[in-house]
C-alpha cells in the first residue's frame, strides 16, 4: 500500500479537500457494513465482488509452498515493507472505498500484524506509517514492540499535515526521524516525497538536494512506491511516467540506495518490467518484492543478484482487499508474498538473501 498521491498532496496544500466528501461518506458506511454482514452468511463465490474479505482464501494461503521455505521454518524472515493502519470498513468498489477513506477513521491493526507475522515465520519488519500520523505509529505501535519492528521515517507527521510541503520541510522531517528517533530507513510514505514533489512539476530532481543531503549524511536507504496498485488508481499514471520520475531521482543521487517498493507492483506488464529496467540501469537501485509476480522476482535476481532484492509484504490489514481486480486482492497477505519467493526461479541461498539477509545488511542490522 501507499498513501495515494491525492492523499499525499492533501497533506500539503489541499487540507480542506476531504471535507466535501464527508457527508456522502458517513451515509456510505452503514451500507458498506451491511453488505459485508449479508455476504458473511450467504454462499460465497471465490474472489467475487462483495465477498467478505478474508472469507474466500485459496488453499495456497494455508497450505502453500511458503510453508517449506527455509527462512519461514527457521522463523528468520524480515519484512521490509508493512503498515498497520487501514480503514476499518472496506468498500466494494473504488467509489465506496474513496468515500470511506475520506472519513479518515483508521483502525490500528498492530496486534493482528504481529499475530500474522507469528503464523508466517516473520521475525521482524520495518513498520511504515500510512494514514495515521508517524508520531502515533512510532510511539504507540513500533516502540512497544522493538523486538518485532524497526522504525522507518513516514508520513503524515503532526507538524506537516495540511501544509504545502517543500524539499526543505521534508529534509527537516527526515532529519528529525533519523536523529531523534533512530529510524534506519526512509520508509515508503516518506520516501515518496522524492517522486511526489517531482510530479507536482514545481521541482526538478536537483531541487530535492536538501532531502538527499540528509539521507546521504546518515547513509540510510530510501524506499519509494512504484507501479500500479488498486489503492492508487485515483491518481492514475502510465507506467513509463512513474518510471521516468524514479529514473530521474536514481540518476541525480547515485550515492543514495533507493528501494523500489513492490518492484513495480502486481502487474508484470508493464510496471514490473519497468522496475526491472530501472534495476538493470542503476547501481543504486534495490527492490522489495511486495505484491510482485514470481517472474519479475526471478528476472531481477538473474540480473542484479539476490543481495539487492528483499522481501516485503505491504501488509496493512488482516483481510484481503475488498475492491480492485478480483484475482489479485490477496497481494497484501504474507502467504501470498512468501509463495512468490517459493515459486520464483531461485536457489535456496538466494531465497535466504531475499527473505532476511539483504534487508539486514542494507539496514545495518545484525544478521539473524
**Least Å from the CB of residue 314 to Zn ion:** 4
Residue 242 to residue 228: CA distance in whole angstroms: 9
Does residue 274 belong to the site contacting Zn ion (CB under 5 A)?
A: no
CB of 186 or CB of 346, closer to Zn ion: 186
Q: Rule CB under 5 A: is residue 7 a binding residue for Zn ion? A: no
Locate cell 527455509: which residue? 70
As a whole number of angstroms, the distance between CA 64 and CA 212 comes to 41
- Please, what's the b/e burial string for 206-235 (b: 16 or more CB within 10 A of its CB; e: otherwise)? eebebbbebbeeeebbbbbbbbbbbbbeee
Choose the binding region for Zn ion from 11-19, 117-125, 145-153, 183-191 (rule: CB under 5 A). Answer: 183-191
Q: Is 62 exposed, middle or buried (0-12, 13-18, 19+ CB in 10 A)?
A: exposed
Query: Which residue of the chain is nearest Zn ion when measured via CB?
Result: 1
Q: How far is the CB of 116 from Zn ion (least distance, A)?
A: 15
We find the least distance from the C-beta atom of residue 201 to Zn ion, in angstroms, to be: 24
Q: Which is nearer to Zn ion, 2 or 267 (CB)?
A: 2
Helix spans in the chain (H): 5-10, 22-41, 59-63, 70-73, 94-103, 110-119, 134-136, 167-179, 188-191, 193-199, 209-218, 239-252, 273-281, 294-304, 334-343, 348-352, 358-362
Q: Rounded CA gap, 363 and 345, in Å? A: 26
Q: Tell me the closest approach of the beta carbon of residue 1 to Zn ion, in angstroms.
A: 4
DSSP 3-state assignment of 366? Answer: coil
Q: Which is nearer to Zn ion, 81 or 360 (CB)?
A: 81
Distance of alpha carbon 170 from alpha carbon 173, whole angstroms: 5
Q: Minimum distance between the CB of residue 229 and Zn ion, rounded to whole angstroms?
A: 8
**Cα separation, 362 vs 309, whole angstroms:** 10
Write down how long the chain is. Answer: 368
How far, in Å, CA of 215 to CA of 209, rounded?
10
Phi/psi at 207 (nearest 5 deg)? -65, -15
Rounded (5°) CA angle 92-312-124: 115
By CB under 5 A, tell whether 285 contacts Zn ion. Answer: no
Which span sits near Zn ion by CB under 5 A: 43-51, 175-183, 187-195, 266-274? 187-195
CB of 85 to Zn ion, least distance (A): 11
Nearer to Zn ion, 28 or 122 (CB): 122
Nearer to Zn ion by C-beta: 79 or 314? Answer: 314
Name the minimum Å distance from CB 197 to Zn ion.
19
Q: Which of 52, 314, 319, 352 binds Zn ion (CB under 5 A)?
A: 314
Nearer to Zn ion, 1 or 278 (CB): 1
CA pair distance 165, 13, nearest whole angstrom: 7
Range in contact with Zn ion (rule: CB under 5 A) among 2-10, 22-30, 192-200, 335-343:
2-10
- Judged by beta carbon, residue 97 or residue 188, the one nearer Zn ion is 188
Q: How many residues bind Zn ion (CB under 5 A)?
A: 4
The reply to whether 1 sits near Zn ion by the rule CB under 5 A is yes
Identify which of 127, 157, 33, 78 has the alpha carbon closest to the alpha carbon of residue 355: 78
Stretch that binds Zn ion, among 85-93, 151-159, 268-276, 314-322 (CB under 5 A): 314-322
Q: Smaller CB distance to Zn ion: residue 52 or 97?
A: 97
Nearer to Zn ion, 188 or 266 (CB): 188
Shortest distance, position 363 Cβ to Zn ion, whole Å: 17
The interface region with Zn ion, picked from 18-26, 182-190, 271-279, 347-355 by CB under 5 A, is: 182-190
Choose between 2 and 199: whose C-beta lies nearer to Zn ion: 2
Least spacing, CB of residue 37 vs Zn ion, in Å: 29
Q: Alpha helix (H) ranges present in 286-329?
A: 294-304
The yes or no reply on residue 132 touching Zn ion (CB under 5 A) is no
Interface residues toward Zn ion, by CB under 5 A:
1-2, 188, 314
Amino acid at each position: 500500500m501507499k498513501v495515494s498521491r491525492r492523499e499525499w498532496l492533501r497533506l500539503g496544500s489541499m487540507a480542506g479537500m476531504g471535507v466535501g466528501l464527508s457527508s456522502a461518506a458517513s451515509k456510505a458506511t452503514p451500507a458498506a457494513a451491511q453488505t459485508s454482514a449479508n455476504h458473511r452468511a450467504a454462499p460465497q463465490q471465490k474472489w467475487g465482488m462483495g465477498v467478505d474479505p478474508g472469507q474466500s482464501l485459496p488453499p495456497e494461503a494455508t497450505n502453500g509452498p511458503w510453508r517449506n521455505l527455509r527462512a519461514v521454518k527457521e522463523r528468520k524472515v524480515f519484512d521490509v515493507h508493512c503498515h498497520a493502519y487501514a480503514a476499518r470498513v472496506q468498500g466494494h468498489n473504488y467509489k465506496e472505498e474513496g468515500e470511506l477513506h475520506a472519513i479518515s477513521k483508521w483502525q490500528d491493526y498492530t496486534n493482528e500484524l504481529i499475530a500474522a507475522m507469528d503464523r508466517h515465520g516473520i521475525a521482524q519488519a520495518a513498520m511504515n506509517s500510512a494514514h495515521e500520523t508517524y508520531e502515533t505509529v512510532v510511539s504507540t505501535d513500533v516502540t512497544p514492540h522493538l523486538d518485532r519492528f524497526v522504525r522507518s521515517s513516514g508520513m503524515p507527521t503532526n507538524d506537516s499535515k495540511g501544509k504545502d510541503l517543500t524539499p526543505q520541510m521534508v529534509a527537516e522531517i527526515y532529519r528529525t526521524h533519523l536523529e531523534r528517533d533512530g529510524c534506519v530507513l526512509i520508509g515508503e510514505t516518506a520516501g515518496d516525497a522524492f517522486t511526489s514533489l517531482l510530479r507536482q512539476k514545481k521541482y526538478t530532481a536537483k531541487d530535492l538536494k536538501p532531502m538527499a543531503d540528509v539521507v546521504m549524511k546518515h547513509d540510510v536507504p530510501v524506499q519509494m512506491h512504484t507501479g500500479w496498485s488498486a489503492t492508487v488508481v485515483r491518481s492514475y499514471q502510465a507506467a513509463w511516467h512513474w518510471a521516468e520520475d524514479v529514473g530521474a531521482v536514481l540518476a541525480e543521487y547515485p550515492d543514495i540506495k533507493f528501494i523500489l517498493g513492490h518492484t513495480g507492483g502486481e502487474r508484470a506488464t508493464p510496471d514490473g518490467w519497468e522496475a526491472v529496467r530501472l534495476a538493470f540501469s542503476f547501481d543504486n537501485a534495490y527492490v522489495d518484492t511486495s505484491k510482485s509476480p514470481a517472474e519479475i522476482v526471478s528476472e531481477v535476481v538473474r540480473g542484479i543478484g539476490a543481495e539487492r532484492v528483499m522481501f516485503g509484504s505491504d501488509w496493512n490489514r488482516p483481510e484481503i482487499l475488498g475492491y480492485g481486480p478480483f484475482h489479485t486482492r490477496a497481494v497484501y497477505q504474507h502467504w501470498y508474498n512468501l509463495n512468490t519467493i517459493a515459486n520464483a526461479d531461485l536457489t535456496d541461498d538466494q531465497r535466504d538473501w531475499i527473505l532476511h539477509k539483504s534487508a539486514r545488511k542494507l539496514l545495518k542490522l545484525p544478521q539473524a
